[in-house]
Amino acid sequence: MKQTYVRGTSLRLISEPAELAAFCRERKQRGETIGFVPTMGALHEGHASLFREAVAQSDCTIISVFVNPAQFGDPDDYQYYPRDLAHDRLVAEHAGVTVLFCPSAETMYPEGTSVSAHVAAKTDVLCGQSRPGHFDGVVTILTKLFALIQPDCVFFGMKDAQQVAIVDDLLHSFLFPIKLVACPIVREADGLARSSRNARLTTEERSEAPHVSRGLQAGLEAVRDGCREAAAIGQTVKDYYQQHLTIGRVDYVDVLTYPGLTSPPDGMVTGRFIIASAVYYSKARLIDNVTEHCPASV
């Protein structure tokens, strides 16, 4: 459903890193706390839920809108990624955001850029497997943004659960004194996870897409019915997709520990786990997941 956003509090637009750093420094000197939400724009209710959480928990909320070239493997995906700054301003303003930071790619990757960050764990599974180098691009841009803004809290969506696990490792590894807040997945009424990429689905693909989340729910039902075997849980999801996806092509279905992202010990889920999948459509690759806590025995 298309959401209508109206103008709320005044929003400041900043595109220069030095101006952003000075703004944040000044706010911190006043004793204000800073909440930060990084995004790639084409903002929707999923993003807005993060903004509202940041506004509720911080004196000053900064969001970034930056389509980060370093995290795209497919040049078409980067080129055609939806961009709409006028709309993004309205969404941010409506949620009560203080600053929208929208730098250019040349600004964030100045000529002669020779240093980047690398993720050495949790990237050989899920999206890391299908998108080599993606998470290096993510942590590189986040390191720059965290250094500029020096936020007290950062807000990320569980829609990108692998990203949440890796950002947690980034904060730990680089000793960033920043609290990570993981926010729940916002969905359409039919269960489809909100995503900027949903706009790139054809009408037929959009009708089929809710099955991506329903398949994961089928896997979760199996766990709730007592199944603990990761392979069997994964197979339940695959069987569901086999029956219900005629256009989408499954990239992966996986059942792992969370946030460790390892195969469950002895193939049996216990503790917190994730069931995650990715499905290719003609111009969009959709990802979704469910995480839950499972008691040691039924």
Instruction: Provide the annotated active-site residues.
Output: 47
Two tokens, residue 58:
């911080």
Between 248 and 264, CB nearer to ligand AMP: 248
Please select the residue that binds ligand AMP; options are 123, 196, 277, 291, rule is CB under 6 A: 196
Q: Residues 24, 50, 127, 201: which binds ligand AMP (CB under 6 A)?
A: 50
- Under rule CB under 6 A, how many of the chain's residues touch ligand AMP? 17
Pick between residue 28 and residue 197 the one whose CB is nearest to ligand AMP: 197
The answer to whether residues 54 and 39 touch, using CB atoms and an 8 Å cutoff, is no
Among 46, 103, 128, 248, binds ligand AMP (CB under 6 A): 46
Instruction: Indicate whether 194 belongs to the interface with ligand AMP (CB under 6 A).
Output: yes
The count of C-alpha atoms lying within 13 angstroms of the C-alpha of 231, restricted to the half-sphere facing its C-beta, is: 3
| Interacting residue with ligand AMP among 53, 88, 160, 205 (CB under 6 A) | 160
Smallest distance, ligand AMP to C-beta of residue 289, A:
11
91 vs 255, which CB is nearer to ligand AMP?
91
CA angle 132/40/54 to nearest 5° reads 115
Of positions 131, 159, 200, 285, contacts ligand AMP by CB under 6 A:
159
> Quick check: 221 and 92 in contact, CB under 8 A?
no
In sequence order, which residues have a C-beta less than 8 Å from that of residue 136 and are 6 or more positions away? 70, 116, 117, 118, 119
Residue 47 or 122 having the CB closest to ligand AMP: 47
Q: What's the CA dihedral at 221, 227, 232, 238 to 10 degrees?
A: 0
Residue number of the CB atom closest to ligand AMP: 157
Cβ 117 vs Cβ 143: under 8 Å = yes
For residue 213, what is the enclosing H or E element? helix 210-224
Taking CB under 6 A as the rule, does residue 195 contact ligand AMP? yes
Instruction: Single out the residue of 20, 24, 34, 40 in contact with ligand AMP (rule: CB under 6 A).
Output: 40
Nearer to ligand AMP, 40 or 237 (CB): 40
Rule CB under 6 A: is residue 144 a binding residue for ligand AMP? no
* CA dist list (Å): 159 to 41, 50, 86, 186: 15, 11, 24, 8
Sequence-distant (6+) residues with CB within 8 A of 40 are 65, 66, 67, 68, 81, 196
- Interacting span for ligand AMP (CB under 6 A) from 190-198, 214-222, 243-251, 269-277: 190-198
Vertex 124: Cα angle to 159 and 166 (nearest 5): 45
Residue 157 lies near ligand AMP (rule: CB under 6 A): yes
Paired tokens of 51: 């903004």
Contact between 88 and ligand AMP per CB under 6 A: no
CB contact at 8 A, 46 and 159: yes
Residue listed under structure tokens 């969001």: 63
Out of 34, 145, 166, 185, point to the residue binding ligand AMP (CB under 6 A).
185
Nearer Cβ to ligand AMP (46/234): 46
Terminal-to-terminal C-alpha distance of the chain: 39
Secondary structure (3-state) at 103: coil
Residues in contact with ligand AMP by CB under 6 A are 39-40, 46-47, 49-50, 156-157, 159-160, 183, 185-186, 193-196
